[in-house]
Amino acid sequence: METKFDKTVEILFELKVADVMRKDIISIGPSDMMSQLKKTLQERRISGLPVVKGSNLVGVISIEDLIRWLSDGDADQRVEEVMSKNPQCLYADQPLIHAVKKFDQFGFGRFPVLDRESGKLVGIITRGVIINGTLKKLEKEYKEEEIRQYRASHFFGDISADQKKVTLKFKISGKDFDNAGKASTTMKKNLKRMGIQPDIIQRAAIASYEAEMNVVIYTNGGVMQYTITEDKLSLNVTDSGPGIDDIEKAMQPGYTTSESWVKELGFGAGMGLPNIKKCSDKMDLQSEVGKGTTLKIEILIGEDHEVK
């Protein structure tokens, strides 16, 4: 409910008076007889209308004016003698929220809409057209969101069999703390766009971020590559040294060789590799001292993937 209300208010700011106003204006002339007004209101089933001379607005007249005239007016009176002059108007380029405020403020049934430059009458706005216009826009946005979600969930269904694979590749520079984490955040955005399940994205993001930080902190740089297929997300991180001499030890929770300045930055608690393992369905870490390290992980993304 809360979000829907917010959305409606947002739409009232987005839409312009011109977007929803009625352009097929039913009007009457100032020198027309009041009996003519009665006929028009009855025939067109409306409760009021603008009084127009040429294309200039000179007043508005409503069913209330007609009732007053019926009870104590002269039979041969003209519209201009009964109408309200200098009516409250709206401009076509105003946000719709102005119209809503004006209805609240004055309690009238309709407002003439003028073109700001020419001052000419270009439309009529009633509460009814505001409601219709807002609902139409809400419906359109809802449909667009539905389509977007449909596309996302059918991402793989829409591409042909031999192309059921998406690869993203990033270069990671060693010791470049300004850009540290960029590869992981870019990947996260892409996974979201593809409609990958949020719990998978979360796990992938954690594993990716820890792996990326290790390359930034401990190595001279490397490459991070994501491959997304229908059933799994594979992450491959390769760096060019210095390598890890005891992988078993490095994998232990709390083990770290990080220097104090790294710890001061909030990294180096020795939980990176254990976290990567926890977030993956499969993990393989290979390293050669002096050459480099390759980390490969897989996260299953099929319908029946295990929720961790």
Ligand X SMILES: Nc1ncnc2c1ncn2[C@@H]1O[C@H](COP(=O)(O)OP(=O)(O)O)[C@@H](O)[C@H]1O
Cα–Cα–Cα angle for 45, 46, 47, rounded to 5 degrees = 130
Closest distance to ligand X from the beta carbon of 237 (Å): 7
d(CA 259, CA 268): 8
| Identity of the residue, 93 or 245, whose beta carbon is nearer to ligand X in the bound complex | 245
Q: Give the per-residue contact string, 17-56, with ligand X (x = CB under 6 A; - = no).
A: ----------------------------------------
d(CA 248, CA 246): 6
Is 214 one of the binding residues for Mg ion (CB under 5 A)?
yes
Q: Give the per-residue contact string, 252-281, with Mg ion (x = CB under 5 A; - = no).
A: --------------------x---------
Is 294 one of the binding residues for ligand X (CB under 6 A)?
no
Under 8 Å between Cβ of 235 and 290: no
| Identity of the residue, 57 or 216, whose beta carbon is nearer to Mg ion in the bound complex | 216
Count of C-beta atoms within a 10 Å radius of residue 85: 10
d(CA 95, CA 92): 8
Is 225 one of the binding residues for ligand X (CB under 6 A)?
no
Closest distance to ligand X from the beta carbon of 211 (Å): 8
Task: Name the burial class of residue 3, with classes exposed (0-12), middle (13-18) and buried (19+) by CB atoms within 10 angstroms of its CB.
Answer: exposed
Is 207 one of the binding residues for ligand X (CB under 6 A)?
no
Q: Give the per-residue contact string, 235-274, with ligand X (x = CB under 6 A; - = no).
A: ----x--x-x-----x----xxxx--------xxxxxxx-
d(CA 21, CA 57): 16
Q: What is the DSSP string of 5-29?
A: HHHHHHHHHHSBHHHHSB-S---B-
Q: Contact positions toward ligand X, by CB under 6 A?
A: 210, 214-215, 218-219, 239, 242, 244, 250, 255-258, 267-273, 293
